[in-house]
Amino acid sequence: MRAKYSGDYFPTESAWWRDVHEACQSDGENWFDAGSNKLVRMGNSTSFWHEDWTGSGSFRSKFFRLYHLSKLKWSTVNECGNWVNGAWQWNLKWRRPLLGREQLWAECLMSDLAGIRLVEDSFDRWSWLVSGDGIYSVHSAYLFLQGSNSLAPDQVFSAVWKSLAPSKVKAFAWRILLDRIASKENLLKRRVLVVHDQATCSFCSAHLESCWHLLFSCPVSNHLWQLGANWLGMDLISASSPREHFTQFKVGRNSTQRRASLSVWLATVWTLWLGRNSIVFRSTQFNHEEALDLVKRHSWSWIKANIKGFCYSLYDWYANPLSCIQSL
Ligand SMILES: [Zn+2]
């Protein structure tokens, strides 16, 4: 486990997995990670602290102080508790008794764990999102990279791949297009969440939190899209899928302009997702003005970092994004 998270993936499971993983590195990005998903069952090969196994970030990154106090830093999920009369009980071990705020964090961690149900005698496994049966094949990966697999008959995946966003944002966008983000609906399907009432939208609390509702049709997210469209000077069409929604942002006379305008779409979904996680894990409120500001800043910094001829200041970008894009 230690070797795995010191930069060496799948060291004990199989050398073949390690080879696959290494072969998938391209320009510092890993398409295998983006196209695959861990299904946690008994937690036998999943790192409790290091892996993002609940779909909301690793516990190490969320509870860094607790991680340092843990006696089980390199343990699997399965080693962090026991089965007692057929029911799973967590048993997290600390180097010393927890004090003050640490106890509060531990309570937050336990509440994250509360809806999780492990499955006895069923091994964790990787699922390849691209093929219908979840099984990896060289052929499906080849088609995936060609952008011609059955889930992506058009150029949408290729456009995401060539976009200007950081690889973690690209991977997130892929997951949106495949409906594989850790929305509460998907957590219910994967049985990470077990109580249906816990699956309402983190923004409006009025609908089931599906990927489509959360990021596009919810009044809260829709309002951010409207603000962004007004800022860009474009009219939003009423889309019926993430793919359609994405495509309307792919506008411009050349590929550079299209990549720049797509940055706004990617920055918006990313901002919505971070905002949603902040509500879920830190009980914050969603603020549309701050969110729009983040969309503008993210998109500007991604364009600035990747397009040489983009010489506009953040101020120019805020004031007139369309003319910045059209000059590219
Ligand atoms: Zn909602």
* Same domain (yes/no): 191, 298: yes
Cα(164)–Cα(306) distance, rounded to whole angstroms?
A: 6
* Same domain (yes/no): 209, 318: yes
CA of 98 to the centre of ligand 1 (A): 37
CA of 221 to the centre of ligand 1 (A): 8
CA of 210 to the centre of ligand 1 (A): 9
CA of 217 to the centre of ligand 1 (A): 7
Residue 145 in contact with residue 31, Cβ under 8 Å? Answer: yes
Cα(310)–Cα(261) distance, rounded to whole angstroms?
A: 13
Residue-level pLDDT at 319: 95
Cα(324)–Cα(105) distance, rounded to whole angstroms?
A: 45
Of the three residues 82, 97, 114, the one that is the final residue of a domain is 114
* Same domain (yes/no): 159, 78: no
- Sign for the CA dihedral angle at 273, 276, 280, 286 comes to positive
* Same domain (yes/no): 93, 163: no
For tokens 């320009």, the residue is 27
CA of 222 to the centre of ligand 1 (A): 9
Residue 59 in contact with residue 49, Cβ under 8 Å? Answer: yes
* Residue 133 within a domain: no
Structural domain harbouring 52: 4-114
CA of 126 to the centre of ligand 1 (A): 30
* Residue 254 within a domain: yes
Which tokens hold the place of 28? 């510092």
Of the three residues 114, 144, 171, the one that is the final residue of a domain is 114
CA of 294 to the centre of ligand 1 (A): 20
Of the three residues 56, 89, 114, the one that is the final residue of a domain is 114
H or E element: which one contains 299?
helix 288-306
CA of 315 to the centre of ligand 1 (A): 32
DSSP 8-state secondary structure symbol assigned to residue 154 = S
* Same domain (yes/no): 164, 72: no
* Same domain (yes/no): 102, 160: no
* Same domain (yes/no): 305, 192: yes
CA of 227 to the centre of ligand 1 (A): 17
CA of 16 to the centre of ligand 1 (A): 42
Task: Of 70, 80, 174, give the one whose Cα is nearest residue 130.
Answer: 174
Residue-level pLDDT at 13: 46
Residue 211 in contact with residue 218, Cβ under 8 Å? Answer: no
The count of domains in the chain is 2
* Residue 120 within a domain: no
CA of 170 to the centre of ligand 1 (A): 23
Whole-angstrom Cα Rg for the chain: 21
pLDDT tens by residue, the chain, 328 residues: 555 554 433 344 455 555 555 555 544 445 565 566 667 888 888 899 998 887 667 888 888 889 999 999 999 999 999 998 888 899 999 999 988 778 878 887 887 787 677 888 788 877 665 555 556 666 666 655 554 443 344 578 778 888 999 888 888 898 898 888 888 888 887 777 666 677 899 999 999 999 999 999 999 999 999 999 999 998 888 888 898 899 889 888 898 999 999 999 999 999 999 999 999 888 899 999 999 999 999 999 999 999 988 999 999 999 999 999 999 8
CA of 12 to the centre of ligand 1 (A): 42
Task: Of 317, 316, 319, give the one whose Cα is nearest residue 267.
Answer: 317
* Same domain (yes/no): 103, 214: no
Residue positions counted in the chain: 328
Residue-level pLDDT at 91: 92
* Same domain (yes/no): 165, 84: no
Residue-level pLDDT at 110: 84
Residue-level pLDDT at 116: 77
CA of 320 to the centre of ligand 1 (A): 30
DSSP notation for 38-74: EE-SS-TTSBTTTS--SSS--HHHHSHHHHHHBS-TT
Give the distance from CA 139 to its chain's centroid: 25
* Same domain (yes/no): 183, 308: yes
* Same domain (yes/no): 166, 65: no
CA of 215 to the centre of ligand 1 (A): 8
